[in-house]
Chains A and B, each alone.
Chain A
């Protein structure tokens, strides 16, 4: 049990969530969280508690973790400098690496792989852009095969395609 706890704490820290250990459970993050106010399942203080105690199953609460909009209100108010959003992001990285992905998030990630952008261009937008005197495609990776090949290399070196299509 002890070994499992320390392994999880290390995994969390490796993903950028080490500041959870600074939490002394005052509950301010939950009090200020707009998502919690709207009665979603997210209670940031619960996630911080589970994270600092190394309670993996409790911390990796998939539904709660994805109710965070990353608004940073918790970080603004935290009296102990816990980087709550970074901890939530680290926990999300862990659940995604475990293969637990929502279909619509997967689509966003697949669009990034395909287009280098999280959204695609379409005919309506192309007409609109042309009418405004802008090129039909923005002059980004979308309009530049060499740049797109470089981008592909960058995300493949970090194994993104494997992660998304696991």
Chain B
């Protein structure tokens, strides 16, 4: 059985616990063991925190990476922000031995040591590469026959030179994962692709109106593409679409991929936290 350290982050457990719950249930059903990585802190958020102090960002990320190393496990995240942050920190600490040495001086003060070897994985990547489309198809009990707008977000695939998961301009991983459970990914071959949701980089917290312009541009692409639902792989994008549709004239149900999988695998929607979304999800 494959086994990972489960990194919760902030938005999933503290705003959309349904995402946390769905991931736990879906991974269990697919034979992947998630071990709770206890005592972790915020990844920390690449938008505001890394922009304030790269030194703090790196040291706090290293604490999380060191906790995973101590548990002898690689990390799996359910959020593009956590993935971006921890992946970047792991990469920098792997490549730059002086930086690693400096960080270890800080970690030594709390009795931790980091060797620079923890791997950081995104849950959708684990589903695609480690579980595989065939096994996912076998687990479907109730095909999710919806027209879905696949929303990749930014830090799942980019920077693609480092992540090396898919072509960031015309990706297919998420489209394949969505179609594996019986849905149709309507933007798969669409000429106009979705872009950043607008939440990242500190934009949502300080410049809400500008941030919603990004969201609206995406919602129009989705409507023109014939979508009836948005499926994301990031709780921050999820929040941006779920909360951002208020008074916009749009009302797409927003599901995290783990929630779509839960539905397709026959789990009770209530147990997936879907009833707690701001934009109502009527299935």
A, B co-complexed: yes
Chain A positions within 8 Å of B, measured between CB atoms, are 15-16, 34-35, 38, 40, 66-73, 75-76, 85, 89-90, 92-93, 96, 101-105, 107-109, 112, 116-121, 125, 128-129, 132-134, 138-141, 144, 146-147, 150-151, 153-155, 157-160, 163-164
Residue contacts A-B, CB under 8 angstroms, 26 given: A34-B217, A67-B203, A69-B214, A70-B84, A71-B154, A71-B158, A71-B201, A72-B159, A75-B158, A105-B205, A107-B205, A108-B202, A109-B49, A112-B44, A112-B49, A116-B41, A117-B10, A118-B48, A118-B49, A138-B8, A144-B38, A151-B41, A151-B63, A154-B110, A155-B56, A158-B55
Q: Determine if B164 is an interface residue (Cβ-Cβ < 8 Å).
A: no
Q: Is the CB of A157 within 8 A of B106?
A: yes
Task: Please name all residues of chain A whose beta carbon is closer than 8 Å to the beta carbon of B42 when the two chains form the complex.
Answer: 112, 116-118
Task: Please name all residues of chain A whose beta carbon is closer than 8 Å to the beta carbon of B36 when the two chains form the complex.
Answer: 139
Chain B positions within 8 Å of A, measured between CB atoms, are 8, 10-11, 13-15, 17-18, 20-21, 36, 38-42, 44-56, 59-60, 63, 84, 106-107, 109-112, 154-155, 158-160, 168-169, 195-196, 198-203, 205-207, 210-211, 213-214, 217, 271, 273, 276
Q: Is the CB of A66 within 8 A of B55?
A: no
Cα separation A90 to B75 with both chains bound (whole Å) = 27
Q: Is the CB of A34 within 8 A of B196?
A: yes
In the complex, which residue of chain B has the Cβ closest to the Cβ of A75?
A: B159
- With A117-B14, A118-B10, A140-B38 already in contact, the answer to whether A128 and B273 are too (CB < 8 A) is yes
Task: Please name all residues of chain A whose beta carbon is closer than 8 Å to the beta carbon of B201 when the two chains form the complex.
Answer: 66, 68-71
Q: Is the CB of A121 within 8 A of B14?
A: yes
Instruction: Choose one: B15, B107, B206; the contact of A125 (CB below 8 Å).
Output: B15
Instruction: Choose one: B8, B46, B51, B53; the contact of A158 (CB below 8 Å).
Output: B53
Q: Is the CB of A109 within 8 A of B213?
A: no
In the complex, which residue of chain B has the Cβ closest to the Cβ of A16?
A: B54
Q: Is the CB of B60 within 8 A of A118?
A: no
Q: How far is the CB of B34 from chain A (nearest CB, A)?
A: 12
Cα separation A99 to B98 with both chains bound (whole Å) = 28
Q: Is the CB of B154 within 8 A of A141?
A: no
Task: Please name all residues of chain A whose beta carbon is closer than 8 Å to the beta carbon of B213 when the two chains form the complex.
Answer: 38
In the complex, which residue of chain A has the Cβ closest to the Cβ of B51?
A: A92
Sort A-B residue pairs by CB-CB distance and give the 5 closest, nearest first.
A147-B39, A72-B158, A71-B196, A138-B13, A92-B51
